[in-house]
A and B are shown apart, each in its own frame.
Chain A
Amino acid sequence: MAQNKTPSLLIRGGHIIDPASRIDGPMDLLLRDGQVAEIAPPNKIRGNAEGKFDARGLIVAPGFIDLHVHLREPGQSHKETIATGTAAAAAGGFTSVCCMPNTSPVVDSPEWVHWIRQPERGALVNVFPIAAATHHSKGAVLTDFRSLQEAGAVAVTDDGKPILDEAVMREALRTGAQLNLPVIQHAEDTRLTAHCSMNEGPTSFRLGLRGMTVAAEAEVVDRDVQLAQMTGGRFHVAHLSTAEALKPVRRGKRAKVRVTCEITPHHFTLIDENVGDYNTDFKMNPPLRSAFDREAILVALADGTVDAIATDHAPHALHEKQVEFERAPFGVTGLETALGLAITQLHRDHKLPLARIVELFTAGPARVLDLRGRGTLARGSFADVTIFDPKKRWIFDAAKSRSKSRNTPFDGWPLTGRVISTIVAGKVVHREG
């Protein structure tokens, strides 16, 4: 991006929440040359800015970071492209997204990491590729972590599939430790979940569907926390969904193991009963869990166990979802509803402070992947800013989504809290209204 040509921008009158700098109060913000030039109490910033943004009544936060999105390129551009996916990200307030390697082909070489980062992809926000941890994500032979990292990969994972082989996972964590490269695990013991399409419980029994047990997730997390302890590697749990899997994460954190975890908006909002009568827009992996699991997740979001909210934005074409429930692909879109759901569910209904929610979208994810200069508005950091109205009520209309796909469980949902503007490298990439 041509950062030096972006005019300077003064955002004034807003309430800045920047948990990384422990700021939570009325402040003005000056962006210049793609950086945060100044942050100061109201009306204290001197000098001329080329543009001004009136942020009265709004929250001004560091640009949101999504650790887990599927942009579907290369190879699956009928579901999403980097251009459309990042447009949806911008509309949802995300200035940075980390994209998963389970594309076609799998992103397991530096060439594909470069390809994703080329300007021709038309990304509207920062894209940080996450590369495959094993060749073709088959779980057997590790990829070349060093060259992937040099190409720009910020982590490795076989997301969509777990790394089941203990020796392979141990080696991945050990190699990652040497490079300070996190290994992200989609925690699912697929030997226990064959032919399963939702959570195991009364709803799966009622619908006659095979259910994934809680143990299939928790046992993998438990094993990998131990491996992370053994190797000193950085281990991140993708889309954690069960109360049982929170236990090893807490245990690991107490023992100073380098373990982090993310939670999706659909898991803190919905439960398995919401699948109704085979609505495939409620089918994702990990599946919606029990009310008990959701309660535990809400507690973990509040008490600091959880490091980040990540959407697991997983677009699919209508014809792919309009099939028998068991045959439908896993995944729902989520970029545009994340903040609204967080404020509605976590802040309004469960009294989580706004500052904690902002942390889960900014400082938290930046820490998980060590994204220097992101997730904060400290002077000198990247001029990525998300401005939102925490009180604004609106209704999400999937038909108006910027994503190429419409597979959301939240179509028509009334939400409180809306992104007003998204600024990447000092440039406004989304403006509401």
Chain B
Amino acid sequence: MTKAARGSLLGIEHLEAAEILGLLKLARRMNPAKPRALLKGKRVVLLFYEPSTRTRSSFEVAAKSMGAMTVLIQSSGSSIEKGESLLDTGYTLRAVGADAIVLRHPSAGAPHLMAANIDIAVINAGDGMHEHPSQALLDAYTVLRHKRSFKGLQVAIVGDIYHSRVARSACHLLSKFGARVTLCGPPEFVPEVAATLVPGIRLTRHLEEAVRGADVIMLLRVQKERLAGRKIKLEDYIARYQMTAARLKLAKRDAIVMHPGPIIRGLELTGDVADCPQSVIVQEVANGVPVRMAILARAMGKAR
């Protein structure tokens, strides 16, 4: 395997803190409302092997607002359906002149395979249960709109950590900047091994313990099928882990509530928490665009 092309974004784990800060700084200078033709003439392929609304549209808007042309390829209705391999699809896209590939794939490591074999920037838009780096970056961007820095920040991540690429990317990012991360959920969703991901992670089975004194509460989506598969009763999960207004009171007064979406009101959080002033869930979606503009600009060497 060779090295990934410059500008690729495969995950947060191997990024230097300085690179992350650079991207966040660049994102602050990006304004989707004031288009700049930074990427005029560039071709960005959105290669999505999984359905996605917010990530896909966010990348698309980001690319277009910098003047790039976008091509959307989804697994249904393309040669992927006919059994073409991931690399062959990559070679084809390279040949038609793609300058960057934004890849969403159900299999962990798919972007690494692509990046190791194809000499254009590959941006991971979520790979299996592994990482979702653009989500972690937009979350970091959102946190820094409300908090001075990450240092010493108490962050609770609640829900199905095991299946979550968002959680893995968030843990890597937060630990690089000295935040104190607590993972919370039942053992089926937060196995002991989760504590080995980055140094200094704490685990707890009690939501109250995770939330008490927290600055940031990140909720994760919980899929009903997975509860069933892991033999957890839905009512029990809700009783123990749902974020309610009462539980939110245990957090710092200025704590923010985050969620990568899509949310299910009445499951991982109550409707009033989703809509409360501390909720930044809608801001996260909006912040996705400038952050992804920064990611794309960096990918195509236009990060100045």
Question: Which of B109, B117, B131, B194 is A322 in contact with, Cβ under 8 Å?
Answer: B117
Q: Name the interface residues of B71-121: CB closer than 8 Å to any CB of A.
A: 85-87, 105, 107-110, 112-113, 117
Is A3 at the interface (CB under 8 A from chain B)? no
Determine how close the nearest CB of chain A comes to the CB of B223; give it in whole angstroms: 16
In the docked arrangement, what's the CA distance between A326 and B127, Å? Answer: 12
* Closest chain B CB from A212 CB (angstroms): 14
Question: Which residue in chain A gives the minimum CB-CB distance to B129?
Answer: A208
Known: A208-B129, A208-B131, A208-B165. A325 touches B196 (CB 8 A): no
Give chain A nearest CB distance to B94 CB in angstroms: 15
Nearest A residue to B105, CB-CB = A324
A277 at the interface (CB under 8 A from B): yes
Partner of B193, one of A202, A279, A324: A202
Complex: A141 Cα to B281 Cα, angstroms = 58
Whole-angstrom distance from the CB of B269 to the nearest CB of chain A? 24
Q: Contacts of A209 on B, CB cut-off 8 Å?
A: 108-109, 128-130
Tell me whether A208 and B1 are in contact in the complex, defined as CB-CB below 8 angstroms, given that A278-B112, A324-B86 are known contacts: no
Report the tally of A-B residue pairs with Cβ distances under 8 A. Answer: 64
- Which residue of chain B has its CB nearest to the CB of A324? B107
Q: How far is the CA of A350 from the CA of B191 in the complex (A)?
A: 35
Which residues on A sit within 8 Å (CB–CB) of B162?
205
Q: Is B144 an interface residue (CB 8 A)?
A: no
A327 part of interface (Cβ distance < 8 Å)? yes
Is the CB–CB distance between A323 and B86 below 8 Å? yes
- Residue of B1, B191, B197 with most chain A CB atoms under a 10 A cut-off: B1
Whether A207 contacts B130 in the complex (CB less than 8 A), given A278-B113, A323-B85, A324-B113, comes out as yes
Any chain A CB within 8 A of the CB of B168? Answer: yes
Among A296-350, those with CB < 8 Å from B are 319, 322-327
Q: DSSP majority for the A interface?
A: loop
A372 part of interface (Cβ distance < 8 Å) = no
Q: Is A254 an interface residue (CB 8 A)?
A: no
Residues on the B chain within 8 Å of A326, using CB? 107-109, 128
**B187 → chain A closest CB, angstroms:** 14
A152: CB under 8 A from chain B? no
Taking a contact as CB atoms under 8 Å apart, the answer to whether B193 and A278 are in contact is no
Is the Cβ of A323 less than 8 Å from the Cβ of B131? no
> With A202-B193, A205-B194, A205-B197 in contact, do A323 and B87 touch (Cβ < 8 Å)?
yes
Given contacts A279-B1, A323-B85, are A208 and B128 in contact (CB under 8 A)?
yes
Q: Is the CB of B110 within 8 A of A324?
A: yes
Interface: A206 (CB within 8 A): yes
Which chain A residues border B127 with CB–CB below 8 Å? 208
A201 within 8 A of B: yes
Q: How far is the CA of A327 from the CA of B109 in the complex (A)?
A: 11
CB distance from A393 to the nearest CB of B (A): 26
- The reply to whether A325 and B194 form a contact with Cβ atoms under 8 Å apart is no
Q: Does the CB pair A278–B87 fall under 8 Å?
A: no
0/1 interface trace, chain B 1-18, chain A, CB 8 Å (1 if under): 100000000100100000
CB-nearest residue of chain B to A209:
B108
Q: Are A324 and B109 in contact (CB under 8 A)?
A: yes
Q: Which residues of A contact B85 (CB under 8 A)?
A: 319, 322-323
Q: A202-B196, A206-B197, A208-B127 are in contact. Are A325 and B87 (CB under 8 A)?
A: no
10 tightest Cβ-Cβ pairs between the two chains A and B: A278-B109, A208-B130, A208-B129, A324-B107, A202-B196, A208-B108, A325-B109, A205-B193, A326-B107, A324-B110
Query: Could you pull out 13 A-B pairs where Cβ atoms are within 8 angstroms?
Result: A202-B193, A202-B197, A205-B193, A205-B194, A206-B168, A208-B129, A277-B10, A277-B112, A323-B85, A324-B105, A324-B108, A325-B107, A325-B108
Starting from the known contacts A202-B196, A322-B85, A324-B108, 8 additional A-B residue pairs (CB-CB under 8 Å) come to A202-B197, A207-B130, A277-B112, A278-B112, A322-B117, A324-B86, A325-B109, A326-B108
B interface, CB within 8 angstroms of A: 1, 10, 13, 85-87, 105, 107-110, 112-113, 117, 127-131, 162, 165, 168, 191, 193-194, 196-197
